[in-house]
Structure 1
Amino acid sequence: MSKLVKRIIWIVVAIAIVCVGYFSFFHTSKSEANTIKVGIMSGSKQEDNIWKQVAKTAEDKYGLKVQFKRFSDYSQPNKALSSGDIDVNAFQNYPFLENWNKANKSDIVAVGDTVIEPMRIYSYKYKLVTEIPKNAKIAVPNDTNNESRALRTLQSAGLIKLNDTHQFASKKDIVSNPKNIKIDEVDASQTPRVLDDEAASVVNGNFAQSSSLNPKKAIYTAPFDKNSHQWVNFIAANKKDKDKKIIKDLVKAYQTEATKKEIKKQTGINQQAAWDLKFK
């Protein structure tokens, strides 16, 4: 083989290597630009199915590939978002985020409403709230955000009255308790499990669903009113990133009729699509 032929072969090989590297880099960069990392809670099969529908819409309509990172407790998703490990998360409501931003000096904002989960009072012993006797024990979630909401549900049901001057109500804010109800603070995930021992329990929609509690058998459901929007869950992002195209496309992919139908299919009345609800 002549030196000229060898030189031509090496030139061709070099060009091929450069081309492969270039197109590989271009493809990888484009793929990364169209990928969004979403932080969600490790939850039910129903919740996973809702997000599968969102991911399908995102890819079909916007060419957006959705990757999920699952977390086991509420303290993790906002930390991961602030550190840049994920692009957005979806698990919290407005009071939770406000409290988180203040406590952690973070700058996380809501970019699109998702669902609302009405809080309900369940009981294995009584069919009506009015049947709950004096000195009965009622379980509520023990975290600041959900306990406040649970106590307001008990107030709405007529069991207690609160001093409503504080953003987050606690047992100390109970100013009237005619039945001398004993408030038992337990982990939110345990509120369905203590029903055998308590007169009643105030349960979040997601934990009611994962415990197969029938919402139609709840003895009380907190109504929607002008103050209810604060309890809506949403997709959140760092403020500096809120206008990124991938984030806006994810929100648009979530807020569709296809997602709304999937929410109803998967959760029944435990959750409601919230982005076009009217709170009066």
Structure 2
Amino acid sequence: MNKRKKKTLIWVVVALVVVIAGIFSFGNFGKQKEQTVTVGVVSPSKQDEAVWNQVKKTAKSKYNVDIKLKTFTDYNQPNKALQSGSIDLNAFQHKAFLDAWNKANKGSLVSIGKTFITPIHLYSNNYKSVKSLPDGATIAVPNDASNESRALYVLQSAGLITLKKNTNSLATINSIAKNPKNLKIKEVAADQAARTLDSVDAAVVNTNYAVAAKLSIKKSIFTEPVNKDSEQWINLIAARKKDRDKEAYKDVVKAYQTEKVKKVINEQYKGLEKPAWDIKLK
């Protein structure tokens, strides 16, 4: 081999080494550097965990994002944690709750993606239908602003009460215009509503807490309708406003909004939860 060919061969080898080293240094043949994103959730059920396990798999394999879940016990904690920066995202609330929290706390949290919608139910241990509820019955509702309003609209949809026509989006007990059965509305913490069923006639219970309490759907005497007015009840993934465009956070949303996750939601919840990122509300 002459010197010129030998020199050329050496440069080819060097070039190949540089290219290969570059491929590996930029993360597994073109994959972005692994990032960890901490997502706050509230008391996840086994069904929730199954959904998030699928989200984690997709985020890891497709986007090289490692999702860590941070569990909270009630609705009052995850937004504070997100606002303070101790978590990156949270996924536990619907739009109405987020709007109310931002207003009450001068917050700057925003939705970066829809997840699911969960029609809530009116449950009873002692009665089989709304019509069978007696005069003067006691009904428990969640006491936080957005969920109490939602519960009152459920009672209105069930024909039990009528709200004032000029009621804003957030109804309160004072918004009740007609109460023909003289129902007693008992305000309780959302995570305690299921437990009150032994001491009240009926209770409006958020589905995540109903599932956690192993409350049978057979005890539901009314289901919230899903229609064009349901937009505010769609659950979401929230971020700090300044971080809304972070690529890793967008990847978490994309990992959630997949056909695989939709399949897991449908299998796990049997219709109690409905995928909502592409739902058409009529």
Same topology, TM > 0.5: yes
Bin for the TM-score computed over the shorter chain: 0.7 to 0.9
Task: State the alpha-carbon separation in 2 of the partners of residues 31 and 78 from structure 1.
Answer: 29
Contact residue 226 and residue 279 of structure 1 kept, 8 A: yes
Residue 279 of structure 1 corresponds to which residue in structure 2? 281
Paired residue secondary structure (1:139): strand
Structure-to-structure mapping, 1:184-195, within 5 angstroms: 184-195=186-197
Change (3 A) 1:206 1:215: same
Deviation for aligned residue 1:217: 4.1
> How does the TM-score come out when normalised to structure 2?
0.85
Task: State the alpha-carbon separation in 1 of the partners of residues 251 and 186 from structure 2.
Answer: 43
Let me know the Cα RMSD of the aligned residues. 2.1
Residue 116 of structure 2 corresponds to which residue in structure 1? 115
Residue 242 of structure 2 corresponds to which residue in structure 1? 240
Amino acid at match of 2:181: K
Contact residue 59 and residue 251 of structure 2 kept, 8 A: yes
Amino acid at match of 2:54: Q
Amino acid at match of 2:105: N
Answer yes or no: is 1:146 the counterpart of 2:147: yes
> How does the TM-score come out when normalised to structure 1?
0.85
Q: Percent of aligned positions with the same letter in both sequences? A: 53
Deviation for aligned residue 1:170: 1.0
Residue 135 of structure 2 corresponds to which residue in structure 1? 134
Contact residue 82 and residue 106 of structure 1 kept, 8 A: yes
Task: State the alpha-carbon separation in 2 of the partners of residues 103 and 57 from structure 1.
Answer: 36
Paired residue secondary structure (1:86): coil
Residue 5 of structure 1 corresponds to which residue in structure 2? none
Amino acid at match of 2:199: D
Paired residue secondary structure (1:233): strand
Amino acid at match of 2:267: K
Structure-to-structure mapping, 1:52-91, within 5 angstroms: 52-91=53-92
Runs of 4+ in structure 1 deviating by more than 4 angstroms, as ranges, are 30-33
Amino acid at match of 2:60: E
Structure-to-structure mapping, 1:160-171, within 5 angstroms: 160-164=161-165, 165-171=167-173
Alignment coverage as a number of residue pairs: 255
Task: State the alpha-carbon separation in 1 of the partners of residues 181 and 109 from structure 2.
Answer: 41
Task: State the alpha-carbon separation in 1 of the partners of residues 34 and 85 from structure 2.
Answer: 15
Residue 44 of structure 1 corresponds to which residue in structure 2? 45
Residue 125 of structure 2 corresponds to which residue in structure 1? 124
Unaligned runs of 5+ in 2: 1-23
Task: State the alpha-carbon separation in 2 of the partners of residues 197 and 40 from structure 1.
Answer: 29
Unaligned runs of 5+ in 1: 1-22
Amino acid at match of 1:95: A
Paired residue secondary structure (2:236): strand
Residue 270 of structure 1 corresponds to which residue in structure 2? 272
